[in-house]
Structure 1
Amino acid sequence: MITTADKNASILLQISTFTQYFFPLGNYIFPVLIWSMKRKESEFIDKNGRSAINFQLSLLVYFVGILLIALPILLYSIFNNTSFILSNNCNWIAEEFTAGKITTIVIISVVTLLLFAALKVIEFCLVIYAAVKNSNGEVYKYPLTINFIK
């Protein structure tokens, strides 16, 4: 039997991921704190807590993956399209950097920012959806989540 207290704790656990907008790493710290305090009281809270934490960790992996792909391409584009010279006082000076050569840099930057924005919007919507499902007494499993905590 899922009690109202279990539903409320599970909703709080889901919504606590939004603390990332107020505290650095809040989307990891607060759900883990709530989950660790309440997981032994209810299997419902335990399953939803694992799901929320795994989803946040999966998003971290996806963000890092996007950065690991985009950053080398961006750096290659910058250094490939710009010629540098060494001045007399040992400073590197960009000799040639024209608007025609900036398109690759802009495209990579815009695509990366759009992917980041899309992930954040998806995260926001899925967390709200999970909280609504939890309020109805349903266990919610986030899509495309890597199970770090089993």
Structure 2
Amino acid sequence: METSISKHEKNVSTVIHLSTFSKYFIPFGNFIIPLLIWTSNKDRLSFVDENGKEAINFQISILLYSIALGIIVIPIVLFTAWEFVGFADLLEHNTHEINFNFEHLSGLGVNTLVLIVAGMAGVGLLLMDLFCTIIATLRANDGIVYRYPLSIKFIK
């Protein structure tokens, strides 16, 4: 099958995968640029069609995983911050001493543990995005369609 894939198809597929890094320079560039390249070439080039679907599905999956992580983390951060504000009586305007009230910090250990795990999951998502995109770029350049791990098939 490798002999039937032209150099042009390999180059366009490589650019599709590489263009997902544009999210670091352009908001939603990881969706817009690959989508433009893919839709302009998908009817003519089957290899580009497969790679475009894979790249876009993976970027949508990473976005959804990040949103889910944010939905879990944001309330914990807000409640933890609220508990931490109660830790020190800094809002007493008529006193010149700081009284530390440690009874407000009872749930802080569990929240901190959840935040550490969520932070590690966020870093894991970032690393998975970086490494898988680089691997997919190299494979597309070799004429191989790379199947991203944990990618949900939105576009079939």
Place the TM-score, normalised by the shorter chain, in its bin.
Answer: 0.7 to 0.9
Give ranges in structure 2 of 5+ residues lacking alignment.
Answer: 92-98
1:97 to 1:135, Cα distance in 2 relative to 1, 3 A: farther
Report deviation, 1:111: 3.1
Q: Deviations over 1:33-52 (max 9, x none)?
A: 11011111111100110000
On the 8 A contact 1:74/1:108 being kept in 2, the answer is: no
> Which residue is equivalent to 1:78?
81
Report deviation, 1:97: 6.6
Q: Deviations over 1:17-44 (max 9, x none)?
A: 0011111111111110110111111111
Q: Percent identical across equivalent pairs?
A: 34
Give ranges in structure 1 of 5+ residues lacking alignment.
Answer: 88-94
> Which residue is equivalent to 1:128?
134
The amino acid of 1:114's aligned partner reads M
The amino acid of 2:130's aligned partner reads F
User: What is the TM-score of this pair, normalised by structure 1?
Assistant: 0.82
Matched, 1:23 2:26: yes
Give secondary structure in 1 for the equivalent of 2:33.
helix
The count of corresponding residues between Structure 1 and Structure 2 is 142
Once residues 82 and 103 of structure 1 are traced to their aligned partners in structure 2, the CA distance between those partners, rounded to angstroms, is 15
The structure 2 residue matched to 1:11, chosen from 9, 14, 27, is: 14
Report deviation, 1:105: 5.1
Q: Please provide the CA RMSD for this pair.
A: 2.6
Once residues 96 and 3 of structure 1 are traced to their aligned partners in structure 2, the CA distance between those partners, rounded to angstroms, is 70
Once residues 3 and 123 of structure 1 are traced to their aligned partners in structure 2, the CA distance between those partners, rounded to angstroms, is 27
The amino acid of 1:70's aligned partner reads V
Bigger strand share:
1
